[in-house]
Structure 1
Amino acid sequence: MSDKLPFVTKTFRKSFPFLAKDVAHYFPSHMARGMQKMQNRLKYVDGIIEVHDARISFSGRNQRFHDALGLRPHLLVLNKVDLADMSEKKTIVRKLEEDGIQKVLFTNCKVNINNTVRTKIIPAMIEMVNNVPRYHRSDAEDYNLLVIGIPNVGKSSLTNALRRTHIQKGKATKVGARAGITTSVLEKIVVCHQPKVYVYDTPGIMPPKINNVEVGLKLALCSTLQDHMVGEDTIADYMLYWLNKHEHFSYVEHFGLSEPTDDVYSLLAHVAQTHNAIQRLKSSSVGGYVYRPHFIRAAQIVIHEFREGHLGKFNLDTEILSRNEGHQHNDR
């Protein structure tokens, strides 16, 4: 049975309240320095591999990349497809191509045997590079590629997957599930011997301004912003709002609720109780200690379940696609 059917008659919020915290200026100093280092190295770079989260194919992609990196061949790799709803894959590709992306590939860099990594990424980049002038590197027999993207979308994972697949080597760059773990532009890393291909791994570069509050919330839910910047309870609340709005009620059964809820603290109190996330607080009014739900810990549990795909596969940019389809229909 669909997770949508039993609860479609319930009424949920039509909009989400604005954030109390400002997430529009998440641009740490190491990211600014990284952008400058990338620009300084551009004359040695033959092509760009941009990595992004397939759950947010459009949200958060950084126009500064295109402004700063010039007319280099540009491949977009949408990673984490194991967590994303790919039912509108063709529409996603079409819209990205309309937005100027030369080529789009989909991958999951976590798996050991990955057909996209093994057979498509390097050949696609080499073909794109060979079809344009290489200017400063016209006589070079090797290829230098730059891997870019916002935090925690899988840039280092892609580099390591390329090495593992093409040269049977282990990890060359540190990988983590926390935004901004790579903090410096590294030296060249070999990822293929025939032909010789190198990549520069970079820190994630977030836009200096997030124009839309909901974009910031999507980024936070997908862990491309550090949780404390927005607040774990706010991220969990946005998750609940989005799931209810799009009639995805898998969380009801997953967390053992009797029915959907639009109250995040009702959800968090239930999760705190079932996961023993309880705070012991000293009480001056009643004496001794009182026990209360640990809402932040419960929110961390809820967010983790979403991010790991335990609540289902989702496309958080589905409304962007719907608007695009509407414009195309009106133009006919």
Structure 2
Amino acid sequence: MRIHQTLWNAAKFRQFFDFGNREIANWFPGHMAKGLRQMKASLKNVDYHIPFSGRNPLFQESLDIKPHLLVLNKMDLADLSEKQAILKQLKREGVGNVLFADCLTQRDENIKKVVPVVTQLIESSPRFHRTENMEYCLLVIGIPNVGKSSFVNALRRMHIKKGKASKVGGEPGITKAVLSKIQVCERPLIYLLDTPGVLPPKIESLETGMKLSLCGTILDHLVGEDVIADYLLYTLNKHEQLSYVDKYELGEPCDDIQHVLKKIAVKLGKTQRVKAITGVGDITITVPNYSAAAYDFIRVFRKGELGRVMLD
């Protein structure tokens, strides 16, 4: 890595990402709009609301989610060197109750804090004060693919020792409707409503949209895996996170996505046979499969194998 750093200091990489005429800022599938309507209809039965990672202004405007707890999930993939700065910024925005979590870890100490925190917030709020019914129903909301269902399952696993109640997956759109109440704790008796991920109808910028797509919040094919892979390479170089060089045996850092994908394809044996027209007739040649290489590059990053990166 020291050699890579020396090469980095001498390299001339991109300072800005060229979005060209791409437009990815208007992705609002029908099931998202339907999910938002279902959330509104469910509020009369809900005592407390958890916007789970992602800051969709629709939640605040449409659902009136106060008080609430913000759970920032997948922290095993993020660089937390700026954790205190993040908390200060959220506090300036009026978010005082924040937990960092990794819901896939079997023993996440922060997940243990969720029930005490929400119980205290509910009991201290005049809006929800009551003595006749000690059953709580919470709504789990957030943008797609941030781990809402994993959060529900983690609480069940921790407090009532039961398995999965919500289906999970590595891409957005697994949960498409507000589910029925799922018990996650006995003392106090707490139920959660899992919900589909909802993005704003218009993402504020292409930069934000590209960050969301890199994290798997927007379906890859809607943006293009070649574009996502290029933005990933730009991001890794920008953050001086050069572990991809060793991972794919590149020899040195590179700013050319076609060159990087060719190297990845060759290393992984991802090739395809295509016909080529020549002066003496058609022949079949073997070429790198750039799509397969981009697929691997993106997913290796999402699994945390290329280091921890904070995109914001």
Q: Is the 8 A contact 2:23 2:206 kept in 1?
A: no
Are 1:254 and 2:255 an aligned pair? Answer: no
Contact 1:73 1:125 in 2 (8 A): no
Partner of 1:315: 310
Aligned to 2:50: 49
Post-superposition shift, 1:21? 4.2
Task: Tell me how far apart the structure 2 counterparts of residues 24 and 67 of structure 1 sit (CA, whole Å).
Answer: 20
Question: Does the 8 Å CA contact 1:143/1:197 hold for their aligned counterparts?
Answer: yes
Match of 2:127 in 1: 134
| One of 140, 148, 159 as aligned partner of 1:155 | 148
- The 5 A counterparts of 1:226-265 are 226-265=219-258
RMSD over aligned Cα atoms:
1.6
Where does residue 160 of structure 2 map in the other structure?
A: 167
Q: Are the equivalent residues in 2 in contact too, given 1:46–1:73 (CA < 8 A)?
A: no
- What letter corresponds to residue 310 of structure 2 in structure 1? N
Segments of 5+ residues of structure 2 without an aligned counterpart are: none
**Contact 1:167/1:193 (8 A) holds in 2:** yes
Residues in 2 aligned to 1:281 and 1:225: alpha-carbon distance in whole angstroms: 31
Taking the aligned partners of 1:248 and 1:135, their CA distance within structure 2 comes to 47
Map 1:186-265 onto structure 2 (within 5 A): 186-265=179-258
TM-score normalised to structure 2 length: 0.95
The 10-residue stretch of structure 1 (202-211 or 4-13) with the greater mean CA deviation from structure 2: 4-13
1:75 aligns with 2:37: no
Paired with 2:172 and 2:88, the residues of 1 have a C-alpha distance of 29
Q: Is 1:93 the equivalent of 2:76?
A: no
Deviation at residue 254 of structure 1 after TM alignment: 1.4
- CA distance, structure 2, for counterparts of residue 95 and residue 136 of structure 1: 30
1:222 and 1:25 map into 2 onto residues whose CA distance is 17
The aligned counterpart of 1:327 is none
**2:239–2:309: 8 Å Cα contact kept in structure 1?**
no
Partner of 1:321: none
Q: CA deviation at 1:102?
A: 2.7
Name which of structure 1's ranges 288-297 and 191-200 shifts more when overlaid on structure 2. Answer: 288-297
The worse-fitting range, judged by mean Cα deviation, of 294-303 and 130-139 is 130-139
1:171-190 alpha-carbon deviations (Å, 9 max, x no partner): 00100001111111101101
Give distance in 1, aligned partners of 2:107 and 2:128. 36
1:199-225 deviation per Cα after TM superposition (whole angstroms, max 9, x unaligned):
100000011111211111111111111
Please, which runs of 5 or more residues in structure 1 have no aligned partner? 53-59, 318-332
CA distance in 2, matches of 1:219, 1:212: 11
Percent of aligned positions that are identical: 47
In structure 2, the partner of 1:26 is: 27
What's the counterpart of residue 61 of structure 1?
Answer: 55
Distance 1:19 1:131 in 2: 51
Distance 1:42 1:139 in 2: 19
- Supply the distance in 2 between the matched residues of 1:255 and 1:137 (Cα, whole angstroms): 59
Letter in 1 for 2:71: V
Query: 1:305·1:311 contact (CA, 8 Å) conserved in 2?
Result: yes
Indicate how the Cα distance of structure 1 residues 284 and 43 shifts in structure 2: closer, same or farther if over 3 A, else same.
Answer: same
What is the number of equivalent residue pairs in this alignment? 309
